[in-house]
Structure 1
């Protein structure tokens, strides 16, 4: 049975839908719907059909990979690696954009995007490089241009590419380290790593210490 209170709630929801449809098609619409629905979920009136139609319409007009591909163009190609490139990262230092890359050729390379040139290469590493990440933590705290990379030698390396100097090595994994990622909080101070030893490890880039080992995975 629909009560006067329920009619008001339904009317409010329909008014919201009408208001949302006046927006440009963007993620903001979906956020408004979800946030509002969460707030009124305790009412337990069920899902309004207009929401179904709205979401379906949004998805049908959302950009697809084909749309992106047809409107995109190749800006530049950086060549230098001699084998498969496993990982890349992008960042800016002193308002200059850089790309770093790690490869199966056992090198880490840094490219100046504006000048379209390779500016640094870490050669002589003993193992394949699987993952590379720029460290915003080292830049903002120590003004160092640092790349962190993981490899098949079971370790994680920190390299100051401006001065071509290795800073430190994190050891602890017992198999190759496939992935690393800096935290999006605390200024990127914390580093997470994933290894073929079936563990995740959390590191403090400020103290160079391992904070925790996450076990539970049965395969890498």
Structure 2
């Protein structure tokens, strides 16, 4: 099914958070009904930020914990070995380690970046517990959350870094996307870049790894180029889109959210890859996550001060 969809979904669970503009959401890898959302005041330009820990039930979304920080929070990642632990990053160049079992926090603050930190990700491969962060200071840092300092710093990008994400297949391997129009693949065993891909003629705001193919990635600005030369055309033509994510359940299905206020679902194995367009926000849609527990459940957040969980019709029968 293709085209705009106003209905056709199951009931949407929504929470409005006045004065907080959503930047990132992530489902808990442990608790099916739990969600974390990183938010900022005044669209992240000035003011503080709030980390929201949400639980969903029949009546909607409820706040379980709320942690304030003195600058906007731009990304959040759950620990892969402790259901209570998260890491966020913020506009003051810091990373924060939080414990949802405690009402106050953070447990630790990591300060090495010199400008905004826009991306954090917790490694998913066995045998390592590492966090990677990408900053507007043009560096990527890898952290062991039990250690106060970063383990290593990676340099090479020539502009701000918007996205950093671990490979789900290869230990110690991660990708980064930058305003310098390149996607880069790194390895913690070396301090230099392994692969530089001049992917586009404009800034790259997001990248992700396919969960089913270790050599396939996506790094889209106005289009999406894949390592196996598959190309999606016509993605969010009105505005740059903010984030792209592969499905954890279907090898050829992806979702994207955009500055055109929409969330879109794609199947790049089809001649017409656009499956569905969801239009339920009234501002930039910056955060998006596909549930690891349910093959149809999606969460997103927007600058319109809302967080939503829903089941788009296209994910029920993605083939």
Q: TM-score range by the shorter chain?
A: 0.5 to 0.7
Following superposition of structure 1 onto structure 2, how do residues 179-198 of structure 1 map, counting pairs within 5 Å?
Answer: 179-186=119-126, 189-198=129-138
Larger radius of gyration between Structure 1 and Structure 2: 1
Distance in 1, Cα, partners of 2:4 & 2:56 = 25
Contact 2:29 2:78 in 1 (8 A): no
Which is worse superposed, 145-154 or 204-213?
204-213
The equivalent of 1:173 in structure 2 is 113
Distance 1:68 1:187, change over 3 A: farther
Following superposition of structure 1 onto structure 2, how do residues 136-175 of structure 1 map, counting pairs within 5 Å?
Answer: 136-139=80-83, 145-164=84-103, 165-175=105-115
Distance in 2, Cα, partners of 1:147 & 1:158 = 6
Structure 1: runs of 5+ lacking an equivalent = 1-62, 140-144
The equivalent of 1:110 in structure 2 is 53
Distance 1:138 1:81, change over 3 A: farther
Q: TM-score, normalised by structure 2?
A: 0.43
SS of structure 2 residue aligned to 1:137:
coil
Distance 1:81 1:92, change over 3 A: farther
The equivalent of 2:66 in structure 1 is 121
Distance in 2, Cα, partners of 1:136 & 1:69 = 35
Following superposition of structure 1 onto structure 2, how do residues 1-220 of structure 1 map, counting pairs within 5 Å?
Answer: 66=3, 71-93=8-30, 95-105=31-41, 106-114=49-57, 116-123=61-68, 125-139=69-83, 145-164=84-103, 165-186=105-126, 189-220=129-160
The higher-RCO structure (CA 8 Å, 6+ apart) is 2
Distance in 1, Cα, partners of 2:122 & 2:5 = 28
The total of aligned residue pairs comes to 150
Choose between structure 1 and 2: higher helix proportion: 1
For residues 167-193 of structure 1, what are the alpha-carbon distances to aligned partners after superposition, in whole Å with 9 as ceiling and x for unaligned? 111221111100011112136611110
Q: TM-score, normalised by structure 1?
A: 0.61
SS of structure 2 residue aligned to 1:113:
strand
Distance in 1, Cα, partners of 2:66 & 2:147 = 27
How far residue 205 of structure 1 moved from its aligned partner, in angstroms, is 2.3
Contact 2:80 2:124 in 1 (8 A): no
Distance in 2, Cα, partners of 1:170 & 1:192 = 12
Contact 2:79 2:87 in 1 (8 A): yes
SS of structure 2 residue aligned to 1:108:
strand
Contact 2:20 2:50 in 1 (8 A): no
Distance in 1, Cα, partners of 2:81 & 2:114 = 26
Choose between structure 1 and 2: higher strand proportion: 2
